[in-house]
Structure formats: C-alpha cells, structure tokens
Amino acid sequence: MDLAKRPAVTALGLDVAHRVNAERVVLLGWGRAILMQLAHPLVAAGVHDHSSFRATPWAAAARLHATVRAMLALTFGTDAERQHALYGIQQIHRRVRGHLPTAVGACAAGTAYSAEDPALVLWVHLTLLESVPLVYELFVAPVTDAERDEYCAGAAWVALALGARAADVPRTWRDMQAAMARTYASGAIAVGPQARELAQVVLAPKIGTFIPPAAWLNRLVTVGLLPPHIREQYGLAWDTRRQRALDRVIPTVRALRHRLPLRLAIWPEARV
C-alpha cells in the first residue's frame, strides 16, 4: 500500500479522522464494533480459534492495548510507524485460517475462513466506520454529513492495505450504509454459539471485576447501541429501564468529557 495516498492533515487543522480518533472516549464504541464483527460467523470462528484474549484477565487488556497502539500508529504515526502497524496486522491475518465447525446462518459447516478474505476485511471495516463516529457524536460533538463522508474517505486506505477490494470500500457515508445493507441482505450476518461465547468476554471482561463502574458503562453502551436485530440474535436483554439508563449516561459522559483537560481527554499521540 502506498502510504503517500493516505489523506493528509488539512492546512486549517486536524482532519476528521484525527479529531475523532484522538478521543479516548471513542473506545466506548469498540465493544459495539466487535460484537457486530463477531456477528459474522467466519469472523467469530477466526477470533475463537486464534485469539488468546479469553485466557486470563490480563490477556484481554493486553489485546486491547495492542489494538489501541495500532490504531494510534495508523492515525497519528509517521509513514514508518504506519507501515510497521500494517505489517503487524497483516502478519496476524496470515495465520488466521480454518473452517467453521457448525452451520451458522448462510454459512455451512466446514466453510473455510481467512482473515485475509476481502469480504471479512470489509465487514470489520464497515463496523468501525459506523461505530466510532456514532460514539463520538454521542459523547463529544455533532458530526456533519460532509464530515462523515470525509471520515469514510480518510479511512479507506487502511481497508485497501489490508486486502479489501477497491470497488467495495466506501468513500462516503451513504456508500457505507449501502454496503452494510448489502451485507445484511446477503444473509452473512448471523450470530452463532462462538459469537455468543466471545460476547461475554467483551461485555463482562474478567478485569472488569476490578473496575465495576467502567464494566457497567461498557456493557450498557455496547448493548444499547447495537442494532436491535443483532442484539436480539445475541440474546441480550434490553428494555425501557435500560434505555432510560443509557439516556441518562450519555449527557453525563458528554459533560464529563468537556470538563476534562485535553491531556486526559485525548491520546498523547494526538497532541504532538
């Protein structure tokens, strides 16, 4: 991938990707994105068979830390740092291969999976494109239609570098929504037993026992922001009481974010 094609920071200030990804609070959108990714049976099988983040309370934290480091390098790093982060992700993807153990949705038992499959790369990309701006808008600031388009266009290079087909990668918000709709219509998204098992690690990580308020917030936001049809497939309860709790949390977290000094609200890499 030619990193020279990566969109640059504008002369007037940070581009949308820089501004959105700079915020620590957007981590609250990652749980939603991960559960949506796992709703694809082949993604769930790859994570289930090849990831060790379920092993210990610290394994999930270490995995999250590595993912954050990669995201920060891709957004804020030098060309060399971005290339190093991409290489690391590509090396992991090359090892993730196998077969689906049981039929799930439109995927028959024995269906082969690979993390390098362009369709799976695209699905992971789409979930992040949808989830991260959603959480930014809830907890930080509004996002205009033009900014959503810019965010999609600015993120396209990563999906292309990881093997998604150029014709499939959305450059506008409308294209992203259309790509999501096509994926749903294809029948490829169906929550299976592996996804449900992994979801419990995302929603109730063992390390969360040490920080109950953060674990509660993570679960509330993740479950509450899932598309209803995916939430129902996971068997996750949602009712008016939980919705009211989420409605109270959103302005509270937003107010806290705007009271924080920038050194706490945004990642150090974004302040350079």
pLDDT tens-digit profile of 91-106? 999 999 999 999 999 9
Domain that holds residue 233: 12-257
Residue 7 resides in a domain: no
Residue 6 resides in a domain: no
**161 pLDDT higher than 50:** yes
pLDDT range class, residue 52, cuts 50, 70, 90: confident
Residue 87 resides in a domain: yes
Residue 270 resides in a domain: no
Residue 238 resides in a domain: yes
Residue 83 resides in a domain: yes
Mean per-residue pLDDT for 30-37?
96
Distances (CA, A) of 41 to 45, 113, 179: 6, 9, 18
> Quick one: what percent of the chain has pLDDT higher than 70?
89
Residue 147 resides in a domain: yes
Residue 250 resides in a domain: yes
Q: How far apart are CA 223 and CA 221, in angstroms?
A: 6
The count of domains in the chain is 1
Taking a C-beta distance cutoff of 8 angstroms, is the pair 176, 170 a contact? yes
Q: For the whole model, what pTM was predicted?
A: 0.91
Q: How far apart are CA 4 and CA 7, in angstroms?
A: 8
Give the other-Cβ count within 10 Å of 59's Cβ.
Answer: 17
